[in-house]
Structure 1
């Protein structure tokens, strides 16, 4: 049972595929970063994973590696201010795509990141990636024949690192190139007592509106009947004021 003031996020995810990369035999290293502060996860929970290595298949002009690698995790957010309507920050999914050659040497093919969906339900995320590069043909020859490439020491540098405390983060001098993309499929579930309270409040409000609508309908019918009675009374008074010779025995007016 979720404690009052807590918000729980459950994610059943899948690393679906990776496409558009230069080399074959791809695998993906990924992890979820929880914002510092009120976010937490169970001690036994793993927030990272590595897929199996997959060869690519030609799909049109691209080469696609299908992983279908499942993962799951949960996280909790504890509200300090109950009046706050939105969460200050949301967890981020980071990924690193690598390739493996015949000699078991790996090369970084791309880095990417995406904020997890803030709404429950099923979502498909396509994360575009990039990698740092060196200028000149020597670096590319080294990458092709010897393996290895420039790497980020901190994977969170793809966005704004959690350890960064300044006002401006400069990436001046970092040369990069766009590579391929990774597709994730996420099924998100959110749990909080606040949702139950909001739902109950909506039901109570709907009940009040229904009752008001019923009262309004009853009032309209009453007004119609009252107007009919007044019109009938005026008609009877008008008939009573007519001369008797103009009124037939049957009670109708003679023309």
Structure 2
């Protein structure tokens, strides 16, 4: 069987309205993929930078997959959250990015967005906090219903991934 190693880190995030951010992440694959080692999902620590607007996490990612086919290539989905001084958490953005299919080291930027909601939701968010969230996180990486949402662009998450492919040539894939 062909093998895929994903080794890297979620470096950090920039361009969000406030600092004190953390990131929840996960990997979505098709049915032909099997995780041999590593964690399918995780969460970074909260970073509150003293200078600048870049929140640094340097959160490691180390995954080892095996597959019988290319369909359902892994996607990394992200949720960026803000934690205020009272410990309350507010969603700041969703995003996803395809794991590169070429071997080597890749520096990636994942743009994020969040649901906009009605004008009542926006007014409530200004005074009370919170805001609209997706009922199903599957909408982050499945395109069917995501394009019906009213969204606003948020910041960018920076990642560094090293991709190692093994035995893909046996399945007609040249690397």
Instruction: Name the TM-score, length of structure 1 as normaliser.
Output: 0.62
Distance in 2 between residues matched to 1:141 and 1:126, nearest whole Å: 31
Task: Confirm whether residue 181 of structure 1 aligns to residue 156 of structure 2.
Answer: yes
Q: 2:23 aligns with which of 17, 20, 28?
A: 28
How far residue 17 of structure 1 moved from its aligned partner, in angstroms, is 1.1
Distance in 2 between residues matched to 1:193 and 1:20, nearest whole Å: 38
Q: Which residue of 2 aligns with 1:39?
A: 33
Q: Which residue of 1 aligns with 2:75?
A: 92
Task: Provide the aligned C-alpha RMSD in A.
Answer: 2.4
Please tell me whether the aligned partners of residues 19 and 48 of structure 2 are also in contact (alpha carbons under 8 angstroms): yes
Q: Which residue of 1 aligns with 2:43?
A: 50
**Residues 172/193 of structure 1: CA separation in 2 closer, same or farther (3 Å cut):** closer
**Residues 45/67 of structure 1: CA separation in 2 closer, same or farther (3 Å cut):** closer
Q: If you compute each CA radius of gyration, which structure gives the higher value, 1 or 2?
A: 1
**Residues 56/193 of structure 1: CA separation in 2 closer, same or farther (3 Å cut):** closer
Higher strand share: 2
Task: Confirm whether residue 66 of structure 1 aligns to residue 49 of structure 2.
Answer: no
Q: Which runs of 4+ in 1 moved over 6 A?
A: none
Q: Which residue of 2 aligns with 1:134?
A: 117
Q: 2:4 aligns with which of 6, 9, 22?
A: 9
Higher helix share: 1
How far residue 133 of structure 1 moved from its aligned partner, in angstroms, is 1.4
Q: 1:156 aligns with which of 132, 138, 143?
A: 138
Structure 2: state its 5+ residue gaps: none
Please tell me whether the aligned partners of residues 18 and 180 of structure 1 are also in contact (alpha carbons under 8 angstroms): yes
Q: Which residue of 2 aligns with 1:75?
A: 65
Q: Which residue of 2 aligns with 1:214?
A: none
Q: Which has the higher contact order (CA 8 A, sep 6+)?
A: 2
